[in-house]
Structures are given as C-alpha cells and as structure tokens.
A and B are shown apart, each in its own frame.
Chain A
Amino acid sequence: MKKMVFILALSTIFASCQRSSREVWEDTKTCGRYVNRGVKSLAGRHQDGQLAYIKHPDDSFLYLTEGDDSDISFEEVESNSFSTKEISSQNFVTPTNELAAIFSNIHFDTDSYVIKGEENLTAIRKIVSYLSSHPLCIVTIEGHTDERGPAAYNLALGARRANAIKTFLLERGVSPDQLQSISYGKENPCVEGHNEISWRENRRGQFKVLHSS
C-alpha cells in the first residue's frame, strides 16, 4: 500500500511539474470548487439544481434562477437592472483636466474581475464622491482586456469587468440612473505593446462621462 502511494505521489509530482504555475492555480481553484460543491451536496444543497422562474421587475424578460450559493434574489436583479433608457456612447466624452484625475482607470489581474488594491479603491472612492455630488453626470463604464485571451471570450470578460465596477459603485450608493456599461474585450487597447506592462495597462475599466442638463 505504501509503495503504491509513493509511486502515485512521485508520478503526480512529475505530472504537476509539466504545468505552469498559472495552470496549477487554475486547477487548484477548480478542485476547490468541486470540494465545496461536494460538501454542500452532503448537506442536501445540490449545485446547479432547484431552478425556478421568477419574473424580472422590468418585465422585459423572464429570469431563471438557481437555488444554490449564487442566491440571485428578486431584489438583487432589481438593483442591478438598468432603469434608464440607454444613451448612445457617442454622446459621452473622455474625462479631461480635473475630471481625468477623478475618473482614472481601474486595473485588474489576468482573467480576473475582482477590484482590489489601494489605487483602485481610492479611484472608486473619488468616483462615488463625484457622482453623488453631481447627480446629472452619467457615466459609461468600458470593460477592456489585454490581447492574450481569445477574442470572443474576452468580450464576455470585458462585460464582467464593467459590471463588477458598476456593482461596486451601486453598492456604495451611486444611482443606477447614472451608470451604463460597455464591453470592448480586447478590441480597444490603450497601449499597443506586447509585454506585461502593456497588458496590465490594457486590463482596465475605463470611464466616459456625460453631463446631462
């Protein structure tokens, strides 16, 4: 038995060495999610199950939600839904002068949409403060990715980033009427290089503003 475990451990170490640290981390995350799911199923909570229809408050579509840990609630859908008519992005401008210092880009880690780091949080605080004191200012949040991922998937990831920022602002009291989001994926890089510095700059949430009268 000990021999078997030793051989298995040795072969696993060799197999793991073939992978990059990023791949090992991705697999660890996947394993973690499966373990979490297994523990929940022991308690009678099955992932991806128990789906039920609820009606979306704006009445434009029907929502099919899960009964698992994602816990989409009627209220959450309502708070995240757009209540304003969308305004064409052509009316929005890139912030300049003092506005540029407020609406600075939010940067993300690779394949991530988590807003973290003091620099990002400071930027968010400034934006929340400005939008709270300027209720007629409307902002388009653009979600961008770096050039490395697949183009189609990056369009979805860009939307994820834009919505992560939007949710962050909503949770801090910004009115949903002041926010809209667009995903550009990797289509509009702000830096043209093909290195880590350029990729970091391009993985961003960017703001365009409109002061309505």
Chain B
Amino acid sequence: MRLLFFLILPFSLFAETIHVPLEAHLSYRKTYVRCEQKELKNLLCLDLNRNGFCRVVDSEKEAELLIEVSVDKEFIFSATDLTNPKKLQLRQPLQTDVKKQLHQCADKLSLELFGKTGISSKKILCTSRTAQKHAVVCWDSSGSKKTLWTQNSLLVTPKFLPHSALFFVVSYTEGAPKICLSSILEPSMRRVTYLEGNQLMPTITQKLNRIAFICDASGREDLYIQDFSPANGVQNKALCLFSKKNCTQASPTFHPDGEKIALVSNKDGSARIYLLDIEKLRSTGNFTLLTKKNRENTSPDWSPDGSKILYSAMTSGTRQIWMIDLDTHEEIQLTFDHGHKENPVWGINSFHFIYNRCLQTHAELYMMNLREKKPIKLSGDEDARFPTWEQ
C-alpha cells in the first residue's frame, strides 16, 4: 500500500488544472479630448485608451476627464478632472517632434492620475526576417516603425539597456552568434564579449554594471556573468555561474538589485524557471524552482519593481503568457486565446507588457496590461519577434 502511495504521489502533484479567465468588471475614467489637429488627437486617444484606466468618449457631456491640447507657438497640455476640481497643466516650448512631446504628456498624465508611469513614449525593438534579410526594427506606441539595421545573417534577442538608447542584439555576422551593442540613435554594431563559441540571450542589471548571457565556450550551454559598463564594454573575466552536464540553460533575467537571476533550465526534466542567488550560489549553490504549475516554461522577464516574473508556458497544448507573483508565489495565467505566445517583456511601469504571438509564417507583436488583460495587436502583417521595451 505504501509503495503504491509513493508511486502515485508524484503524478498527482503535477496534475493538470483548468484555468478559466475571470470576467472583468472594470471602471474607466471617461475622457474627452479637445484638439484641433486631427492626427495629434487620434494619437492621444490611442495613448489614453491603452493606459488601462481611460476610455475616450465622443461626447463632452458624459466625460469625467477633459483633456485639451493646443499646439501653436507653445505646446499646452491640460487635463481637468470634471468630477473633482483638479487640473494638470503642462506648458512647454514647441519641439520639433510634437508627437513625442504628446506621448510624454500622456505618460505624465498616467503617472499623476493613476500612479502608473506611462509607456506611450517608450520605444519597442523587435527583430524581423524576410526571405533573405534580417533586421532590427524600432516601433513606437502608435504602431509606426523604423528599420534600424539590416543584414543577411540572423539577428535575434535584442535587449534594451535600462534608461538608455543602447541595446544588445545577438548577431550571426561572424558565423556563430555573438553579442553586439548598438543604439537606436546611431546605426552601428560592436561586439561586446570576446569569448569563443555561441553567445546567446544577453541581459543586463538596472545599474548597467553586469551582464548575464548563455555561452558554450566550455562545450556546454552555461550561464555566464561579466562586469560591464556602457562606455568601456566588458571588464574583468567572464564568470561561468552555472553549468550542469546534460542540461540546457536559457534566457537569464536579473532582479532589479542585480544580485539574483531567474533563468530557464531543464535540469529536472522539462524546462522550468529557476531562481539563482548569485552571492549564495558562490557559497552553497542553492537553485530554487519557481514555476511548478506548467511544463515547457521559457523566456522569463523580471519586472522593474522586482515583484513579478513573466514567462511563457505550455498550457493545454498552447504556449500562453503566465506571471509568477513573488510575494504570494502564485502563478497566474494572463493570456487565453489561441496561438503560441512567447518572449513576454515588462514595460517600465511593471503593469504593461508586450509579447509576440507566433503564426506559421511570421510573429505578431501584442501589448497587454495587468488590469484589463486584453491583448492589443501592435504590429501589422510584418514579422516582429523577440520584443524588448525601452525602460
């Protein structure tokens, strides 16, 4: 009897559960926008409808929030709360990029009224592939895009450096994949590390002082960290932080304090997300399993506030986006529709996130926030993979 009990117990621990999305009954701030320039008005409406708290209405009478934008000699943005006499006004000299100025105001409004830093002015980078070319493409929140870099060889996993226009991207120009540094302001690429072998999936701390990546210089796909500065590149020697025979490590992501790393490993069977404390690992080697609910857990991304990790997990035959709340250790499913979803990435506010949905011919870029949990498609028919969001 006891033998039977111990034989069946492990299977019951991994039993599948059925997840049903909760019906959302959300309240929104009804917002009316007054702006003479139609293009700017449409842009602002898009930003407001995507912040997770506002809904733009057609009639001023039903509005609770009135936003007026005037672009003449001066840029004037004013927001009046009609239910509570509160007014936010921003007067600025008119800049050449008025759209950017408008996005920044929408972001300030989000922070002032709803306590969430806005994401409208933040750029998104993706890689894109056509029949022969591979490119790094920069998107803005309104869906317009600009190709930053094109080459014949593969480009994968770009990663923005926090609070910077710089980004890492893995390029196959030299044959094996190598980590390169580039900028959305200047189209050039320089190699970051000079280790041999395949270098993949770079990530960096919020302080910009340390990078982590996967490299097979030793013959295994190991986790490495190395000191780094944006001005001088890598410093000191790379340190192989975790290596294990017959297993694969992937997609490291730093805690905001830079002392912990979450990553994918298949060391216990199916790929799952593990937590690794850099300092503790040096003394005891503790490696904590974070995700227990699903199998094939990949692409973790630690939120800028450090409280949550997004990841992709196989859920009833479809890869969906999940989030682990590190305070409660609860694993929460965020997407439910068809199509495999991968590579989730947090926005600066730890509230919005983006991911790509894979189709047979290409990948689409989507945005979602934790309040509405409603996917918004950002890309058109073009390929948009491995997104990274400016912080």
Contact = CB atoms under 8 A, between A and B. Distances in A.
A89 B312 CA distance: 32
Contacts of B269: 26-27, 29-30, 33
Contact of B284 (A26, A49, A56): A49
B250 interface: yes
A174 interface: no
A48 interface: yes
Contacts of A80: 218-220
A140 B175 contact: yes
Contacts of A42: none
B177 A182 contact: yes
Contacts of A71: 245
Interface stretch (B33-41, B72-80, B293-301, B302-310): B293-301
B136 to A, nearest CB: 15
Interface string B127-140: 00100000000000
A72 B245 contact: yes
A66 B4 CA distance: 35
Nearest to A149: B296
A61 B1 contact: no
B326 interface: no
B250 to A, nearest CB: 4
A69 B256 CA distance: 33
Contacts of B12: 8, 11-12, 15-16
Interface residues of A, number: 75
Interface stretch (B49-57, B63-71, B93-101, B194-202): B194-202
Interface stretch (B107-115, B234-242, B369-377): B234-242
Interface in A156-179: 156-157, 159-160, 162-163, 166-167
Interface residues of B, number: 76
B16 A5 contact: no
A180 B176 CA distance: 9
A88 interface: yes
Contacts of A92: 175
Interface of B: 1, 4-5, 8-12, 14-16, 129, 154, 156-157, 172, 174-177, 194-198, 200-201, 214, 216-221, 224, 237-246, 248-251, 264, 266-271, 281-287, 295-296, 298-299, 312, 319, 340, 342-343, 358, 360, 385-386
Interface of A: 1-2, 5, 8-9, 11-13, 15-16, 18-19, 23-24, 26-27, 29-31, 33-34, 46, 48-51, 56, 60-66, 69-72, 76-77, 80-82, 86-90, 92, 111, 113, 140, 149-153, 155-157, 159-160, 162-163, 166-167, 180-185, 187-188, 194
